[in-house]
């Protein structure tokens, strides 16, 4: 079975057929999905999806592009949500210097604040990092390098892993997993292929970021969890193992991190 650890089925791209798509996932071999919050609007939607579908779990957090909305009231909402056993992480949180929607100092402050919330509640984090590799690692080291979050299996995942093999090794040493999705299948993704080749399978998680980042064969289309077998196949080819092993190990990794 496949565990999609990062999806956005609350996105408006699924408004026309959300139930049809979600109900088609288990028969297609997708056993669990984490729907990841990214905005204040999405927090309510995540809660509704996790309540409606047994196999859908959630994460609650505010994306760096929207941290201007991270008020005390929103923080209280996130804290309340992660008391629910079906909300298994704080995320999507982090830094995005590509779009630069929010000032860097504000992003960093809100990143720290949401990490503190996760640590206080014993939840892992789902980290977004785009064009911000150095600052992301600095914040993660600062927050997890002082003896907090000692359980390596409960620290978090670097979503849509964007960094180098050397950085991946540092994250793994700190107890973080690497999120691998459709980008791995792109012909231009030489750096990510090197990361997958150089890191143990026990450090990898499957994810889609749907409706975004479909695999190569679906470029330009809406992504769904049913496209993950293409990612599984790419990992298996790079690692020289069976597709079944990739599914089983990444499933176990996700269960260790989120449950």
Report the pLDDT averaged over residues 84-97: 98
The domains found in the chain, sorted by start residue, are 2-258 (3.20.20.140)
How many angstroms separate the CA atoms of 230 and 218, rounded? 10
The radius of gyration computed from the CA coordinates of the chain, to the nearest angstrom, equals 17
| Structure token pair of residue 52 | 């409606």
Tokens standing for residue 120: 């206080």
Q: CA 232, CA 249: separation in Å to the nearest integer?
A: 11
Give the C-alpha distances (Å, rounded to integers) separating 70 from 11, 27, 42, 113, 124: 20, 38, 13, 10, 19
Would you state the pLDDT for residue 154?
Answer: 79
Helix extents (H) in the chain: 18-24, 40-52, 72-81, 104-121, 133-144, 165-173, 190-198, 228-239, 243-258
Can you give the pLDDT at residue 145?
77
pLDDT mean over 15-32? 98
Q: What is the pTM of this model?
A: 0.97
Is there a contact between 66 and 38 (Cβ–Cβ < 8 Å)? yes
| Residues 192-242: tens digit of each pLDDT | 999 999 999 999 999 999 999 999 999 999 999 999 999 999 999 999 999
Distance (Å, rounded) from C-alpha 87 to C-alpha 81?
Answer: 7
Q: How many CA atoms lie within 13 A of 77 on its CB side?
A: 19
In whole angstroms, what is the distance from residue 254 CA to residue 256 CA? 5
Residue 63 pLDDT class (50, 70, 90 cuts): very high
Dump pLDDT digits (tens) for 103-155.
999 999 999 999 999 999 999 999 999 999 999 999 999 999 765 555 666 79
Instruction: Look at residues 158, 159, 78, 92 and name the one whose alpha carbon lies nearest to residue 121.
Output: 78
pLDDT of residue 58: 98
Instruction: Report residue 205 CA to chain centroid gap.
Output: 9
Mean pLDDT of the chain: 96
* Pairwise CA distance, residues 59 & 23, whole Å: 20
Q: For residue 147, what pLDDT is reported?
A: 58
């Amino acid at each position: 079975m496949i565990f999609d650890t990062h999806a956005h089925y609350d996105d408006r791209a699924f408004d026309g057929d959300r139930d049809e798509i979600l109900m088609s996932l288990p028969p297609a071999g997708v056993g669990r999905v984490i729907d990841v919050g990214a905005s204040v609007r999405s927090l309510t939607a995540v809660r509704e999806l996790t309540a409606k579908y047994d196999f859908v779990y959630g994460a609650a957090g505010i994306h760096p592009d929207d941290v201007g909305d991270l008020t005390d009231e929103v923080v209280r909402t996130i804290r309340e949500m992660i008391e629910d056993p079906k909300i298994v992480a704080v995320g999507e949180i982090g830094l995005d210097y590509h779009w630069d929607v929010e000032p860097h100092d504000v992003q960093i402050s809100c990143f720290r604040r949401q990490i503190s919330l996760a640590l206080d509640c014993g939840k892992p984090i789902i980290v977004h990092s785009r064009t911000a590799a150095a600052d992301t690692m600095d914040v993660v080291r600062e927050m997890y390098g002082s003896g907090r979050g000692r359980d390596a299996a409960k620290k978090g995942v670097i979503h849509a892993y964007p960094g180098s093999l050397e950085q991946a090794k540092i994250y793994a040493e700190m107890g973080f997993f690497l999120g691998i999705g459709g980008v791995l299948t792109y012909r231009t993704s030489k750096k990510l292929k090197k990361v997958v080749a150089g890191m143990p399978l026990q450090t990898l998680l499957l994810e889609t970021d749907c409706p975004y980042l479909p695999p190569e064969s679906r470029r330009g289309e809406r992504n769904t969890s049913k496209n993950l077998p293409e990612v599984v196949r790419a990992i298996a080819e790079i690692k020289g193992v069976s597709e079944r092993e990739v599914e089983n190990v990444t499933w176990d990794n996700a269960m260790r991190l989120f449950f």
